[in-house]
Structure 1
Amino acid sequence: MPAATGLYTTDNVPVQQLYTEFIRSIELYNRERNSFRDVLCEVTRKRTARVAQRSMAFRPAGSDTAQPDVDRLVYREINLPEPVAYELAEGFTKKAIERGVSSEEMRAQHQEALNADRRLIQQLVLKAMLVSGGFWDGNMSVAPPSYKSNSFQTSHTHYLAQAAAGVPTLAMFAELKQHILEHGYGDPLNGGALVAFINSANAQQIENAAEWQTTSNYVATRVIEQLQSDGLWPASVGGQVMSAVGVPIIVEDWVPENYILMVDYKVRPLRWRLPEGPGVEGLIVDTDDDFRWLIKRYRRWGSVKVVHRGAGACYYINGANYTDPTFEV
């Protein structure tokens, strides 16, 4: 903890008191549960994820004394990328404080550092899904496993595209839904639950489109309450949810414009990998106090990968071919 002895802001708040407040706010911040990571990721320290495949089957019996061969569940091992340390430093020089810095300025700078961490988390998780190579993308060396009577080729892709000038249609949501259901995900009878995300600019196109006028654009409170109970944006989800083909659509501007993301969030289709050392679960902060500087250095560890490749699908609605969105990270 920086000593910062004798330093005061222009509104006469001790700097040491502010730094104590900031450290406490980070402890509270690390307990929040309102990001894509909290909803869609399992946090792990393992280097691989094991995903069960359909592998056991009944076969005709042999003679009266013959015993069936012992069968076993087969897993597909998915390598998880090495955790990456993302860092940010912010602070004030003591000379700047002596010249005149208010407590509001210091609080605003600290809050922006937390906002930057939120942006990092959201973008890492979205990048893992919206950039081709997360879900089945038609270029993988293995085909999706069969489900019921459905079988798939390696060319099977969950990255769809249509030159629709950014206007979502009911058919798009139906296609996304089918791409997930045919792999056994998203079925409420099996504990699944589908949810879709779109940018507010595309939500406006839905409200303006004639084909949507006969539908109920905004879903009932019961659906919103269910999403909130599952940790989906508990503070802001109300009033920003639509519905199509039985799937709630959250209007969320973290999703880039002209993309639709649909996912079975109950299965937690992604893994957020942490290093094996202790104390690296949340946002880490180190503080320095020397002759001239009061600095806080923030660090966030993690890497993200889709492991349930059939549990989600993406639609690019502004071109005939799927184009990966650009993220800052």
Structure 2
Amino acid sequence: MPGITDRGSILVNELSDGVRVDDIWVELQNAVTVYNEHKTTVASLLSYPTIQAAAPIAQGLRQEAFERASEHGVPTAMNPTPDVLKLGFQYADWDKSTRFTALALRDMSSEQVTARVSAIMDADARLVQGLVLQRLFDPTPGENDFAHTVYGLWNGDSIVPPRYMGKSFTGSHNHYLVSQGAEIDSGDVEAAMALVTEHGYGLGADSGSQLILLVNAGAEAEAVQSWRAGEENANGQTARFDFIPSSNAPTYLTQSSIVGALPPTDVDGVPVLGSYGKAWVIESMLVPAGYFAVFATGGPNSEQNVIARRMHPSPAWQGLRLIEGNWAKYPLVESFFQRGLGTGVRHRGAASVMQIKASGSYVAPTVNL
């Protein structure tokens, strides 16, 4: 048809190494599918996928009490009134594209083309990780498209945490801490752990979740590995527990005997450095320097995890999507990559974070991945 370039008139239909352009397109579609199915990151231990805009979470029930029986009357009926807090989850659309001219494709190899897509997948992984970690470390509330409040962890607001095992909480309750010291110490970690376990999270089989200590792969990780029970560490603190390396740690000599099971080598693909007390220690460059987090996880993408990752309700719009560009008959020239994603904390007591500095109030980091 005059003025319209059809497929038969495309000058370039294979790359410089003989690979057909159509074959590369199929390969890229398959790669995105595999990526969506098998991608495992720290974010999956911290969060879970949902299509809900908000989740109503019970904050506790009005306590009932037995009455002394009357010979001539009937007992009063119980009428538990749940205290429900609606926790909102944000949502936004994110995208990126690749564009190649026909002349560029003529001289490119298939490896050069797929390298561009690998960079897109890396950017998508960093997007997911960055949104989850930013929500973890930032106490600032927000609002989603349905006007639901999007919360962080307990941050000293007017909402009182629900009772747990007979323990009541009164007034403000804050899970954003400042170490009051220039270096991480065992007291910091133990205090952060206690804030999580007192709400019933991270107690192993009793709660269905495991406690994780997430530290930056730098000075903080090195310090944690040096802690020994009864020995002094930074800031004059004495550790209550020994750091126990996992079985994939470098070979080492010790005169002590290990009592109990070794920590696992990994959690669904995320390497475990070792354990401190009840927490498995994970080091990651994703964690901003000068901060650490303690959180409870029910496993990858478990609904018991701290943060919700909100997706679009339509399955066709979930995950990383590869869309043909404006050149519908020649999609490799222009290809769109799209993901719909937002976050919000569902379990406000299931994590605590700490900024390592000598004084002042907590300042949220900017997570740039």
Report how far residue 33 of structure 1 moved.
4.2
Give matches, 1:79-228, under 5 Å. 79-98=87-106, 100-133=107-140, 134-138=152-156, 140-165=157-182, 167-188=183-204, 189-201=206-218, 202-207=220-225, 211=232, 215-220=242-247, 222-225=262-265, 227-228=266-267
Q: Give the direction of change, closer, same or farther, for the CA distance of 1:172–1:247 in structure 2 (3 Å limit).
A: same
Contact preservation (8 Å) 2:294, 2:352: yes
Report how far residue 81 of structure 1 moved.
3.3
SS at match of 1:136: coil
Structure 2: runs of 5+ lacking an equivalent: 1-5, 141-151, 234-238, 249-261, 299-303
SS at match of 1:69: coil
CA distance in 2, matches of 1:39, 1:96: 41
CA distance in 2, matches of 1:218, 1:204: 12
Q: Give the direction of change, closer, same or farther, for the CA distance of 1:211–1:91 in structure 2 (3 Å limit).
A: farther
1:255 paired with 2:255, answer no
Report how far residue 205 of structure 1 moved.
3.7
CA distance in 2, matches of 1:216, 1:44: 36
**Equivalent residue, structure 2, for 1:271:** 308
Count of aligned positions: 317
Report how far residue 278 of structure 1 moved.
3.5
CA distance in 1, matches of 2:81, 2:39: 34
CA distance in 1, matches of 2:297, 2:27: 35
What's the CA shift string for 1:75-124, capped at 9, x where partnerless? 523242342101111121112223x2122211111101000000001011
Contact preservation (8 Å) 2:46, 2:305: yes
1:307 paired with 2:346, answer yes
Contact preservation (8 Å) 2:202, 2:296: yes
SS at match of 1:31: helix
Contact preservation (8 Å) 1:94, 1:292: no
1:50 paired with 2:56, answer yes
Contact preservation (8 Å) 1:287, 1:294: no
CA distance in 2, matches of 1:196, 1:32: 24
SS at match of 2:58: strand
Contact preservation (8 Å) 1:186, 1:192: yes
**Equivalent residue, structure 2, for 1:242:** 274
SS at match of 1:66: coil
What's the CA shift string for 1:172-217, capped at 9, x where partnerless? 1110111011112222223232111111112134456784699345
Report how far residue 249 of structure 1 moved.
0.9
What's the CA shift string for 1:270-293, capped at 9, x where partnerless? 212222333122111102263897
Could you state the TM-score of these two structures normalised by the residue count of structure 2? 0.78
SS at match of 2:129: helix
Contact preservation (8 Å) 1:93, 1:293: no
Q: Give the direction of change, closer, same or farther, for the CA distance of 1:18–1:289 in structure 2 (3 Å limit).
A: farther
CA distance in 1, matches of 2:323, 2:116: 16
**Equivalent residue, structure 1, for 2:321:** 284
Q: Counterpart amino acid of 1:190?
A: S
1:296 paired with 2:335, answer yes
User: Aligned residues: percent identity?
Assistant: 22
Q: Give the direction of change, closer, same or farther, for the CA distance of 1:142–1:268 in structure 2 (3 Å limit).
A: same
CA RMSD in angstroms, aligned pairs only? 2.7
CA distance in 2, matches of 1:58, 1:309: 26
Could you state the TM-score of these two structures normalised by the residue count of structure 1? 0.86
1:325 paired with 2:365, answer yes
CA distance in 2, matches of 1:292, 1:192: 45
Matching residue within 29, 32, 39 for 2:38: 32
Report how far residue 56 of structure 1 moved.
4.3
CA distance in 2, matches of 1:135, 1:191: 20
CA distance in 2, matches of 1:324, 1:304: 16
Q: Give the direction of change, closer, same or farther, for the CA distance of 1:112–1:211 in structure 2 (3 Å limit).
A: farther
Q: Counterpart amino acid of 1:298?
A: F
CA distance in 1, matches of 2:115, 2:169: 52
Report how far residue 9 of structure 1 moved.
2.2
